[in-house]
Structure 1
Amino acid sequence: MLHFEREEFETRLANARAAMRREGLDALLLFAQESMYYLTGYDTSGFVFFQCAIMTANDEPLTLLTRRPDLEQARRTSTMEDIRLWYDAPGMDPSRELMAILEEKGLKGARVGIEMRTFGLTADNYELVRRRLSNWCELVDASNLVRQLRAVKSPAEIAYVRRAAELADASLVAMLEASRPGAFEGEIAAAGAVPILAGGGDPAPSGPVLGSGDRALLVRSATGFRTLDPVDQLTIEHAGSYRRYCACLMRTISIGRANPVQQTMFDVTLEAITAMTEAARPGNTIGAIDDAHRAVYDRAGYGHARMSACGYSLGATYRPSWMDVPPMIYSGNEMAIVPGMILFLHAILIDAPQNLAMSLGYTILTRDGPAEVLSKVKPEYVVRT
């Protein structure tokens, strides 16, 4: 069930261990499900419980500590062979099993990194680990070690992102076709799900963010689908997902008839995202993308309605988010742009006093020279009647 060649996993592990040695780490406690998928192929939703993979800076095989329901999951989807189990019981504390594994590996007194910035490690579980290992080893935050490696994609990963972008395009076309006065938002969302699933993709790890009327101004998903009015607006933000890799799109369209104010908002928004795309090239920083975004909107008098960030990195992610950060795209972010990054650029205007929204977003691949927009659906002001 591996979705990459073993040689690719071996290269990723070697790069991670080299990074560990540069940071002076003897071991790394992997709690991020994305890290485990990246390094070994391990694919599960069981990260919502206590689960940790232990990687040493030498070539010793990784050891996974997980629950019994994930035993076969780990055996059949990953390169890991040393799988240890903890069992549910009153007062169970899996940090005991974790410490036993570390002791077995001779890590007492060692410098051990831990992934803290992840949905795979809740505060209570972190406290178990911290208290257990206090005065036993030096525990340091290494949340971004594997994450930084994942920010630049291999050719095999880019191929999956391209497929995700194709699925996102098909999904957007289906939702636009289903959008009309009197349409039910739930039916629009359902129409968008079919091309992704029928095309061999995965349910996205978040969204879709889909809302009309007042809900068109929301940039997060919210419960309570409604029926579109005869004259309305509709914001759609969604992701195509393939082998866990995501490609996102965002649009705001008019329903029933064109709105001249929104047409103007669209024109400025298209100018903004075009400038952002031009800025997303090697030689610039991530922050330069947002500088371009701010310059267009502020010059046009929309500074009050724009966001303070304009996108983020994408990759292979798990619920609850398709955002694969860092990096976030905000002014002042000094991270260098290099070829092989997958970034979701979004230009969003929320004019609350007028109850109007206008959003435009797509996924790009950075490369030498100008970035490649992966979506083939032309950005345009859409009116559905």
Structure 2
Amino acid sequence: MALHFDRAEFESRIGAARKALAADGLDALLLFAQESLYYLTGFDTSGFVFFQCAVLTRDDGPITLLTRRPDLEQARRTSILSDIRLWYDQEGNDPSRELSDILAEKGLKGARVGIEMRTFGLTADKYELVAKRLAGWCELADASHIVRTLRLVKSPAEITYVRRAAELADQSLEAMLATARPGAFEGDIAAAGSVPILAGGGDPPPSGPVLGSGDRALLIRSATGFRHLDPVDQLTLEFAGSYRHYCACLMRTVAIGKGNPAQRAMFEVTREALAAMTEAARPARPLGEIDDAHRQVYDAAGYGHARMSACGYSLGALYRPTWMDVPPMLYSGNTTPAVPGMVLFLHAILIDAPKSLAMSLGHTIVLTSAGAEVLSRIAPEYTVCS
């Protein structure tokens, strides 16, 4: 069995989830988020793109997983799950029927049942099946926050994986910068960055990389269509190192062939902004203060028009299509308190569209009792790749 945490840690997580159910007056929770299943049981699969649900009750009964036949051995061999039920593909099949049978078996008729709605594992059509099936039979309540809140503060074992992900991210950045030069093909740069992660025992990141030159350097989402770098160019890199699904992100914009004075000025203020954001990440302080620091530096320097309206988000063990483990996002006014054990990606981004110039810096931090620990060993600098 390929468990990446001690069974005792899983049992502790499940116990905490059950206490949270009781505090919210819930009798059970329908787990549709793959991240929740991985966190509570170790179950590791991409099969969540189909109908897949686990039932966690407030009592100490076993978690019951409802999944498809291809995921049977996956569940048996990657998780602590022992009660695995199957639904089978056939024309017109509605797996909410099997789910309702499981709930009835657990005596949940008339109960208050939470459901994870804020997840890519529960698309609108699947939710409609469940809601129609259970209407009038039990009370459904959005409980997306139950496991989500528990996952925000990482255990020492989780942070060990985050640190390894950060090491792989550093190696990936070094490999991409060594490949980036005038005339280089973006696909070769991206390929170079993937080698240290996979060769180092990591996972393909759940998104990206965001990698673009020329006008594409202004993009902060990945887009198809790699190109060759011009003799004088710019290149934006945003990517994650991933280890046991735990992500650590980095972001850089570098010059190609020759530096640009306007872009260098953008770098200096961006480095200042990132430093201020990192300093603002303090235990017991609202997370929104990180964005306040971000805005203050950029706005005072006259770059308010080019900055973003948020400056980062939480990271954790994620599945496709994103490494953004939200909420929380880092935006002004967010009252969520910073807590030791949180892992956050801080990014400072300038997009000067009229000048077609970009400058971005970002790094991953772990919050400690003393403040923010930057996990990357590579300090930001204005880099010219030639």
**TM-score interval (norm. to shorter):** over 0.9
Question: Are 2:68 and 1:56 equivalent residues in the alignment?
Answer: no
Alignment partner, residue 254 of structure 1: 255
Alignment partner, residue 363 of structure 1: 364
Alignment partner, residue 376 of structure 1: 377
Displacement, 1:121? Answer: 0.5
Task: Give deviations 1:28-58, integer Å, cap 9, x for gaps.
Answer: 0000000000000000000000000000001
Task: Give deviations 1:171-202, integer Å, cap 9, x for gaps.
Answer: 00000000000000000000000000000000
Per the normalisation by structure 2, the TM-score is: 0.99
Per the normalisation by structure 1, the TM-score is: 1.00
Rounded to whole Å, the distance in 2 between the matches of 1:258 and 1:89 is: 60
Alignment partner, residue 27 of structure 2: 26
Displacement, 1:278? Answer: 0.3
Question: Are 2:100 and 1:99 equivalent residues in the alignment?
Answer: yes
Alignment partner, residue 116 of structure 2: 115
How high is the sequence identity, in percent, across the aligned residues?
Answer: 76
Displacement, 1:370? Answer: 2.3
Which amino acid counterpart does residue 154 of structure 1 have in structure 2? S
Q: Give runs of ≥4 in structure 1 deviating > 2 Å.
A: none
Alignment partner, residue 300 of structure 2: 299
Task: Give deviations 1:61-94, integer Å, cap 9, x for gaps.
Answer: 1000000000000000000100000000000000
Displacement, 1:238? Answer: 0.5
What runs of 5+ residues in structure 2 fail to find an aligned partner?
none
Displacement, 1:144? Answer: 1.2
Alignment partner, residue 313 of structure 2: 312
Which amino acid counterpart does residue 357 of structure 2 have in structure 1? L
Rounded to whole Å, the distance in 1 between the matches of 2:364 and 2:331 is: 16
What runs of 5+ residues in structure 1 fail to find an aligned partner?
none
Rounded to whole Å, the distance in 1 between the matches of 2:340 and 2:141 is: 30
Alignment partner, residue 200 of structure 2: 199
Alignment partner, residue 179 of structure 2: 178
Rounded to whole Å, the distance in 2 between the matches of 1:266 and 1:105 is: 59
SS of alignment partner, residue 150 of structure 2: helix
SS of alignment partner, residue 366 of structure 1: strand
Alignment partner, residue 236 of structure 2: 235
Question: Are 2:131 and 1:130 equivalent residues in the alignment?
Answer: yes
SS of alignment partner, residue 156 of structure 1: helix
Alignment partner, residue 160 of structure 2: 159
Displacement, 1:369? Answer: 1.7
Rounded to whole Å, the distance in 2 between the matches of 1:12 and 1:22 is: 15
Which amino acid counterpart does residue 246 of structure 1 have in structure 2? C
Task: Give deviations 1:328-353, integer Å, cap 9, x for gaps.
Answer: 10011100001000000000000000
SS of alignment partner, residue 8 of structure 1: helix
Rounded to whole Å, the distance in 2 between the matches of 1:32 and 1:236 is: 29
